[in-house]
């Protein structure tokens, strides 16, 4: 029960904090914080999908909400006035901004769809995570700078 309360509270706080970061104008720290929010939410879903944590509808809802809202806000971190000197950001993002935004929108839309048709068990969470992970992977494949 304690784990559930922590995850739900963190997700809800993260949604509010994400709104503040989205207004930050595209700094390195804001971008990293938003990606970590998505990572934390997918981690919570992954723990359920793997059977490491029991299925909990509230955690699933909070995680999907975090992913949907954060993915919507993330492209705002790459506006024309944002920091383009960040060595961890692939310049291809600005060259292909419409594609980048479309990939983020797909992640958000798929998370919202999953939220509307909430997975009812571990297998459902796993299937949802596979879809969302595919969205993440497509964007990372195209735009993430590979570290040595």
Task: State pLDDT tens for residues 53-69.
Answer: 999 999 999 999 999 99
Query: Is the pLDDT higher at 28 or at 15?
Result: 28
Task: Confirm whether 148 is domain-assigned.
Answer: no
* pLDDT of 77 over the 50 cut: yes
- Please report the pLDDT score of residue 2 as a whole number: 60
| 116 marked ligand binding residue | no
Find the domain containing 61 and state its range.
Answer: 2-143
Number of domains in the chain: 1
Q: Within 13 A of 32's CA, how many CA atoms are on the CB side?
A: 6
| 139 marked ligand binding residue | yes
Judged by DSSP in three states, 88 sits in: coil
* pLDDT of 5 over the 70 cut: no
- Please report the pLDDT score of residue 19 as a whole number: 47
Task: Confirm whether 37 is domain-assigned.
Answer: yes
Other Cβ atoms within 10 Å of 20 Cβ, number: 10
| 132 marked ligand binding residue | no
User: What is the pLDDT averaged over residues 76-98?
Assistant: 89
In tens, the pLDDT along 102-122 reads 999 999 999 999 999 999 999
**Mean of the per-residue pLDDT values for the chain?**
88
Q: Is the pTM of this model over 0.75?
A: yes
Chain CA centroid to CA 97, Å? 18
User: What is the pLDDT averaged over residues 38-64?
Assistant: 98
Instruction: Dump strand ranges (E) for the chain.
Output: none
Query: Is the pLDDT higher at 7 or at 45?
Result: 45
Task: Confirm whether 31 is domain-assigned.
Answer: yes
Q: Are 53 and 3 in contact (CB under 8 A)?
A: yes
What CATH number does the domain containing 126 carry?
1.20.120.10
């Amino acid at each position: 029960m304690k784990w559930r309360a922590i995850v739900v509270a963190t997700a809800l706080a993260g949604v509010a904090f994400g709104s503040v970061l989205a207004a930050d104008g595209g700094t390195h720290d804001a971008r990293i914080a938003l990606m970590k929010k998505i990572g934390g939410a997918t981690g919570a879903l992954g723990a359920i999908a793997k059977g490491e944590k029991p299925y909990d509808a509230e955690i699933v809802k909070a995680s999907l909400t975090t992913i949907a809202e954060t993915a919507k806000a993330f492209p705002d971190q790459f506006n024309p006035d944002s920091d383009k000197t960040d060595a961890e950001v692939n310049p291809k993002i600005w060259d292909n901004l419409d594609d980048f935004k479309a990939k983020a929108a797909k992640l958000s839309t798929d998370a919202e769809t999953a939220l509307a048709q909430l997975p009812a068990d571990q297998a459902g969470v796993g299937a949802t995570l596979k879809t969302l992970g595919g969205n993440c992977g497509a964007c990372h494949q195209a735009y993430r700078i590979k570290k040595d």
